[in-house]
């Protein structure tokens, strides 16, 4: 209980301060939280088609983009990480590609995929694959020599080597990468919805902005925050289960 208080006191305090300032200032650009919450209620709860028509597609996009990037990133990363030479060839290319801000590529993806889901997915995948990929490479390289020797001596089959040794050995680093890319997915989901689409949280944000409906805009921003927090919490819970095998001391470092 005390821990709960500790975690939320600052947050609640800031919301309260904002509420007070909002009342006094009465600025249309910065509505108080109470107005934002009631706008959100009107918008998504009283009109559920707004929820199913905008929020759900956005979340589906975000998650599918992240899952595709994760599967690609982990498999490619483990492959590159366990190969002696591959990173020497691919390394500079990866650093180059990673350095390109994904929003800059939105026009390219628009040309390649036309406006719509595939262009949005491409933007998300290209934007979030790097943390997973590079962490997987790093993790795959960190399998220690004695474990490599042990596996070689027992002549385990290839699949067991990859799934039973390399993957679990790399998993702490992979999860660190997965978390970074999950929060990046949220950013790129919004960016991918700013052009060429009329559904999704991102496009609704743009629309609210154009109509000077700042309360609604804020409601959208808060929703993104809630989404990000929820997704991160869910992934942390999965990670804690998946990495439960780690010795305690390392667990603490992780938290």
Partner 1 sequence: MSNMLEVADLGHTYGDYEAIGGLSFTVRAGELVCVVGPSGCGKSTLLRTISGLIEPSRGDVSLKGSHLAVVFQDYSRSLFPWLTVQGNVEFPLRSLPRAERRVRAAEALEWVGLSGAARKRPWQLSGGMQQRVAIARALAYRPSLLLMDEPFASVDAQTRFELEDLLLRVRREHDTTVLVVTHDIDESVYLGDRILVLSGSPARLVADLEVPLPAERDQVTTRTDEGFVALRSKVARLLNVGKPSMDVEKWAEAERESLSETVSS
Indicate which single residue of 38, 142, 160, 209 sits in contact with partner 1 (rule: CB under 8 A).
160
Task: Compute φ and ψ for 28, nearest 5 degrees.
Answer: -65, -25
In the numeric block, which tokens belong to residue 199?
A: 């559904």
Based on the shown chain and the rule CB under 8 A, indicate whether residue 152 belongs to the binding site for partner 1.
yes
In the numeric block, which tokens belong to residue 74?
A: 């982990």
Indicate which single residue of 2, 154, 158, 253 sits in contact with partner 1 (rule: CB under 8 A).
154
Task: Compute φ and ψ for 85, nearest 5 degrees.
Answer: -100, -25
Based on the shown chain and the rule CB under 8 A, indicate whether residue 246 belongs to the binding site for partner 1.
yes
Asked if residues 142 and 170 have their Cβ atoms less than 8 Å apart, the reply is yes
Choices 84-92, 112-120, 128-136, 144-152 (CB under 8 A): range interacting with partner 1: 144-152
- Residue 20 vs 152, nearer CB to partner 1: 152
- Pairwise CA distance, residues 123 & 117, whole Å: 10
Indicate which single residue of 22, 53, 103, 168 sits in contact with partner 1 (rule: CB under 8 A).
168
Tell me how far, at minimum, the Cβ of 208 lies from partner 1, in Å: 48
User: Where would I find the beta strands (DSSP E) of 71-203?
Assistant: none
- Pairwise CA distance, residues 180 & 173, whole Å: 11
Choices 48-56, 79-87, 102-110, 165-173 (CB under 8 A): range interacting with partner 1: 165-173
Tell me how far, at minimum, the Cβ of 73 lies from partner 1, in Å: 21
End-to-end CA distance of the chain: 19
- Pairwise CA distance, residues 44 & 209, whole Å: 17
- Residue 3 vs 241, nearer CB to partner 1: 241
- Residue 14 vs 156, nearer CB to partner 1: 156
Based on the shown chain and the rule CB under 8 A, indicate whether residue 199 belongs to the binding site for partner 1.
no
Tell the burial category of 228 from Cβ atoms under 10 Å away from its Cβ (0-12, 13-18, 19+). middle
Based on the shown chain and the rule CB under 8 A, indicate whether residue 164 belongs to the binding site for partner 1.
yes
Tell me how far, at minimum, the Cβ of 213 lies from partner 1, in Å: 52
In the numeric block, which tokens belong to residue 223?
A: 């929703």
Tell me how far, at minimum, the Cβ of 251 lies from partner 1, in Å: 11
Short-list 116, 98, 91, CA closest to 192:
116
Based on the shown chain and the rule CB under 8 A, indicate whether residue 165 belongs to the binding site for partner 1.
yes
In the numeric block, which tokens belong to residue 59?
A: 């979340």
Based on the shown chain and the rule CB under 8 A, indicate whether residue 247 belongs to the binding site for partner 1.
yes
- Residue 59 vs 242, nearer CB to partner 1: 242
Based on the shown chain and the rule CB under 8 A, indicate whether residue 142 belongs to the binding site for partner 1.
no
Task: Enter the DSSP assignment of 115.
Answer: S
Indicate which single residue of 99, 101, 245, 252 sits in contact with partner 1 (rule: CB under 8 A).
245
List of residues contacting partner 1 (CB under 8 A)? 144-147, 149-150, 152-157, 160, 164-165, 168-169, 171, 245-247
């Amino acid at each position: 209980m005390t821990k709960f208080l500790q975690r939320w006191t600052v947050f609640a305090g800031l919301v309260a301060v904002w509420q007070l300032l909002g009342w006094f200032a009465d600025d249309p650009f910065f509505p108080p939280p109470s107005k934002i919450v009631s706008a959100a209620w009107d918008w998504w709860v009283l009109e559920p088609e707004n929820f199913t028509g905008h929020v759900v597609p956005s979340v589906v996009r975000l998650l599918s983009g992240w899952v595709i990037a994760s599967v690609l990133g982990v498999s490619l990363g483990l492959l590159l990480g366990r190969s002696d030479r591959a990173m020497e060839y691919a390394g500079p290319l990866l650093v180059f590609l990673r350095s390109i801000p994904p929003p800059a590529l939105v026009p390219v993806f628009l040309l390649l995929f036309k406006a719509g889901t595939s262009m949005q997915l491409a933007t998300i995948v290209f934007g979030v694959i790097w943390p997973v990929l590079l962490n997987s490479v790093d993790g795959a390289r960190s399998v220690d020599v004695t474990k490599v020797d042990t596996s070689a001596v027992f002549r385990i089959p290839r699949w067991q080597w990859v799934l039973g040794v390399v993957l679990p050995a790399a998993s702490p680093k992979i999860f660190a990468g997965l978390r970074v890319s999950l929060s990046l997915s949220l950013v790129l989901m919004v960016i991918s919805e700013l052009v060429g689409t009329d559904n999704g949280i991102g496009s609704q944000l743009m629309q609210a902005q154009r109509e000077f409906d700042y309360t609604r805009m804020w409601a959208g921003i808060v929703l993104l925050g809630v989404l990000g927090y929820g997704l991160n919490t869910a992934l942390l819970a999965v990670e804690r289960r998946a990495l439960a095998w780690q010795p305690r001391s390392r667990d603490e470092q992780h938290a």
